[in-house]
Structure 1
Amino acid sequence: MSTRIVLIGAGSAMFGLGTVGDILRCKSLEGATIVLNDINPEALAFVEGVASRYVRDKGLPYKIEATTSLDDALKSANFCMISIEVGDRHTLWEEDWKVPMQYGFRQVYGENGGPGGLFHALRIIPPILGICERISAVCPDAFVFNLSNPMVRISQAVHTKFPHLKYVGICHEVASLIEHLPLLLNTPVENLDIKAGGFNHFSVLVEATYKDSGKDAYPDIRAKAPAYFAKAPAVFGYIGERALFQEILKRFGHLPITTDSHFGEYIPWAASVVDHRGILEFYSSYKATMRSNHDEALRRIADGTPPEEYWRVVPIIEGILNDSHHGELAVNVPNDGLIDYLPANQMVEVPGIIDGKGIHGVRLDPYPKAFAALLMTQVPVNDMTTEAVLRGSKEAALQAILVDPVCHDAKAAADLLDTMISLQKAHLGYLK
C-alpha cells in the first residue's frame, strides 16, 4: 500500500504548494498519495489544479487527491500535516497585536506570546483539537505534524487532550540562526554540531562544537557575535531585529535562535530594548510575501518550500519510513526529562532523532539555569490557556492573562478580554 500523506489547510498556496513541492522532490516517497484538504473549496480547487497539472505534465509517480471532507481525507492516512489559520489572518492578527497595546500592554508583537498570543491561541486551538479528534477516530496510528502558531500553546492543548497521538510540532525558525553561524565562525555549516532548545520561538543555542577539532565553538561565538550582528548581512533577504537578541546574549550568555519579534513576546522588559522599527518592517515584508504566494504558484510547487520556511516535515517522514536514525535540529515534543527545571507535561523544542518508531527528543544537559528561569514564567500561561480552551472558560482565559509576565494591570486585563471577545465574537464567543 502506498504512503498516504494528508495536508490539512492545503488551500494555502504557501503551505499546500510548497509542501507538495517538497514531497515531489523526495525519491523515497515516489508512489505516494498526496491528499489535499481544506474547508475553502475555491482555494482547495486552485491548489489541486496546480499540483495535478504539475504532476501530469512532468510525468511524476504521485497521486493527487483533494477533498473538503476531513474524514474522507484521513482514511488510511499514514502522515497528517496541519497548517491552518482561522478567519481573516491579518485583520485578526493586527487586533491581537494592537488592541492590547491600547490597554497599556507592552507587547512587542502579537502572534505567539503575551495577550496577543493568547487570543490567537483561543481562536485556533479549538479547530485543531477538532482535527485531532477526527485523526484519533479515523487514523489513530498516523503521525501528526503541526505547523501552525502559536506552536507552544497549540501543542500543549493537543498533548493534554490527546496524549496518545503521535503528535509533534515542527518550526523552521532555527534555520535563521544556522545560516549566520558559518559566516560568524568562518567555517562550513557541515563542520558545526549545534544543539538549541527551550520553548518554540523562545529558545537559545545551548551547545556549539567544531566537528573537525572537537573544540567548543561558544567562546568564539560570544567573542564575535556582538560585532557581527551589529552589521549582520541579509539572510533570506532580511536584515534587522537584533537588539533584544544582543541583550540576551550579553546578559544570559546564550544566543537566541530567533529575532526580536518572536523572542520578545514572552519578556516583560523586551519593549525597552527591542528593534521596534525592524519588527514593523518584518511584519510588512511577511504580509507582502503571503499575498504573493498565490501569484507565484508554479514557482512554489517547482521549488518546494524555500529555506526560510522549510519545515523539515518531509525529511522526517522519509526518516521514519527508512528508519534513518538521523538528527533534526528542532522538534516540539513532551518534556520527558529533556530540559531540567521544566515540568514533564510541557511541550518543549529540542533536537530530535528520527527512526522507524517516530520522533525522539534529545536531552539538553546542562541547560542554562538563568534562561530556564525565563522559560518557567511561561508554564502557568501555557497551562491556563489549555484550561480556558478545554473548559470554554472566560475565567480561565482571564487567569491566563493575569499569570502572564507581560500583564501589568488586573483591570486592564479584564477590560481587554471583554473587548477582544466582543471584537472576535465569532471565534471567542465560546468563552463563558
Structure 2
Amino acid sequence: MKNIKIAYIGGGSKAWARVFMKDLALAEDLSGEIALYDIDLPAAELNRRIGERINAHPNTISKWDYKVYPEIGTALDGADFVICSILPGTFDEMEGDVHLPEEYGIYQSVGDTVGPGGVLRAMRTVPIYEGFAREIKAHCPDAWVINLTNPMTACTKTLYDVFPEIKAFGCCHEVFHAQEFLSCAVHELMGVPRPHRSEIIIDACGVNHFTWITEANYKGTDLLKILPEFIDKFYEQGYCEHVGSQPQEFRDNPFRYGNKVKMDLFRRFGVLAAAGDRHLVEFLNNSWYIKDKADAESWLFHLTTVAYRKQDRLDKIAQSQRIADGEEQIDVSHSDEEVVELMKALLGLIPPKVSNANVVNVGQMPQLPLGSVVETNCVFAHNSLKPVTSKPLPNDVNALVLRNAINIENTYYGIKERDLNRIFEAFINQPLCSSLTVAQGKELFNKMLAATEAYLKDFYPSTRL
C-alpha cells in the first residue's frame, strides 16, 4: 500500500471532487491524505464530510484522511500530487462571458475555452495560476500537478511558464467520448458487442477541446475507413455515444448532442474531431455551425445558458449537503475518468499507460509552435511523462488548429504582460468573432471587461481598452 499526500486546490468542487474521491476509495494500492483547500472554506469542509461518508461506505477499499486547510501553502506542503480544479470568478462573471456577445450576434455553447468568453475567462484565471505555480514551487516542487480547470491550455501554459521545472499536465475526457463514438461505429457496422473505449487505439493531436483523431484501430480494422458508412447511416438523425441516450435529448440536456458537427467535419476533412460538438463549434467561424440558437439546434446541440449552470450549481450544493448529512446515499463505484490510473502509473504501481494529455510542445506536434501547449498521446510511467510524436494533421485541418493555437498563445502573453491591446488582438481574431468589425469588437471587449472588473482590477493597471 502506497501512502501519499494529494493536495486538492479547489477542494470545494461541487461535482468533480466526488468523482475523484470515489475513484480513490476503490484504489486498493493507494492511501494517505487528501488536503482540501478552497477560498470557499465551508465548501471544502462539506467535501471533507462527504469524504468521511465515502470512507464508511461498504464498497470502499482504500480509506483516506480528509483534511481542510485554510492556507494554500500548508495544504501543498509535502504533497506528492496536486489537483487544480477551480471556478475562476463566479457564474455572474461567466454570465457576461457567455451572454454579452449575444448582443452582437455571437453565440457560445460553452464559453470557457476560446471565443470571447474563453478570452475573458483566461484573463481571470491566468493570474490565479501564476500564484499557484509560485506556491507549488515553494512548497512541493517535486509533486505531479494535474490541471482540470478550463481554459485548459492557458492554465497549463501558465504553470510551465512561471515554474519551468514543474511536472504538470492537463487532463481532459473529451477524447474518451470520441473513442466511445468509434466504439458505437464498431458495434453498428461490425455486428459485435460495443467494445470498451480502451480497445479503440487512436492517434490524436491538437489543442484541448479541438483535438483530432488521425488514426483509429480496432483489432486490426482501420475505423476511419469504415466510418463513412456509419456517418451516411446516422448523419441526419444524429448519434449519441452516451449509453441509453438519444440525439434529440440535447433539447432538454445541454450536455447531450447528436455528433452531427463531428460527422460533418469528418466528411469535409477525413479525420475525426475528438471533442464534443459544443466545444468544436467554438473553434470555428461562427457562421459555420452556430449563427444563433436555431442554427445550433439544427446541428443537434444546445447552447448552455448560465442560468442553467446557476441552477445546476444550487442542485449540486443541495445534494452535497444531503450526502454530508447522511440523508442521501452516495454510490461508490468506478467512474470513466483516468486520473487515478495515471497517478498509479506515475507511482510505478501499474505498467506504463498511454493516454491523452496537455503538455508543452517539445516536438510531439511539429506543425504547432514549440513551447505552446498541445494535446497528444503521452506515455505515463514511473515518475515519467513522455509525449508521443503524433501523425501530422492534414494541412487544411492544421490551418484551423494553428489559428486557435496562436490565438491562445497571444492571449496568454497579453495577460502575462497585462497588455489589453495585445489581448484584444487575440480577442478580435477569435473565429467566433469573425463577423465583428474592429469597432464592434472594441465595444464588446470593454463591456465584457466591465462585467468582470471585480476579478481583474487587482491584476491589471486598467480594465478598459
Q: Structure 1-normalised TM-score? A: 0.90
Aligned partner of 1:64 among 63, 66, 69: 66
Aligned-partner Cα distance in 2 for 1:44–1:287: 19
Aligned-partner Cα distance in 2 for 1:217–1:378: 27
Partner of 1:51: 51
CA contact (8 A) 2:132 2:159 kept: no
Q: Which moved more, 1:340-349 or 1:91-100?
A: 91-100
Deviation at 1:324, TM superposition (A): 3.8
Which amino acid counterpart does residue 382 of structure 1 have in structure 2?
Answer: I
Partner of 1:380: 406
Aligned partner of 1:412 among 440, 447, 450: 440
Partner of 1:425: 453
Partner of 1:201: 209
Aligned-partner Cα distance in 2 for 1:246–1:285: 27
How do 1:32-431 and structure 2 match up within 5 A? 32-56=32-56, 60-89=62-91, 91-105=92-106, 107-186=108-187, 187=192, 188-189=195-196, 191-211=199-219, 214-229=220-235, 230-233=237-240, 235=242, 237=245, 239-269=256-286, 271-272=288-289, 276-277=296-297, 278-280=300-302, 289-297=312-320, 298=323, 302-303=331-332, 306-307=335-336, 310=337, 312-322=338-348, 324-407=350-433, 408-429=436-457, 430-431=459-460
> What SS does the corresponding residue of 2:272 show, helix, strand or coil?
coil
Q: Which moved more, 1:292-301 or 1:80-89?
A: 292-301
Question: Structure 2: which 5+ residue stretches go unaligned?
Answer: 250-255
Which amino acid counterpart does residue 231 of structure 2 have in structure 1?
Answer: A
Deviation at 1:107, TM superposition (A): 4.8
> What SS does the corresponding residue of 2:233 show, helix, strand or coil?
helix
Deviations 1:300-326 (A, max 9, x none): 96436743xx2x211111111126443
Deviation at 1:223, TM superposition (A): 2.5
> What SS does the corresponding residue of 2:370 show, helix, strand or coil?
coil
Aligned-partner Cα distance in 1 for 2:14–2:432: 34
Deviation at 1:191, TM superposition (A): 4.1
Shift in CA distance, 233/390, structure 1 to aligned 2, threshold 3 Å: closer
Shift in CA distance, 382/281, structure 1 to aligned 2, threshold 3 Å: closer
Aligned-partner Cα distance in 2 for 1:193–1:225: 20
Aligned-partner Cα distance in 2 for 1:133–1:304: 36
Question: Structure 1: which 5+ residue stretches go unaligned?
Answer: none
> What SS does the corresponding residue of 2:390 show, helix, strand or coil?
coil
Shift in CA distance, 147/226, structure 1 to aligned 2, threshold 3 Å: farther
CA contact (8 A) 1:323 1:354 kept: no
Shift in CA distance, 161/331, structure 1 to aligned 2, threshold 3 Å: same
Deviations 1:150-180 (A, max 9, x none): 1122222332222211110001111222222
Q: How many pairs does the alignment contain? A: 425
CA contact (8 A) 1:156 1:346 kept: yes
CA contact (8 A) 1:339 1:367 kept: no
CA contact (8 A) 2:14 2:317 kept: yes
Q: Structure 2-normalised TM-score? A: 0.84
Which amino acid counterpart does residue 303 of structure 1 have in structure 2?
Answer: V
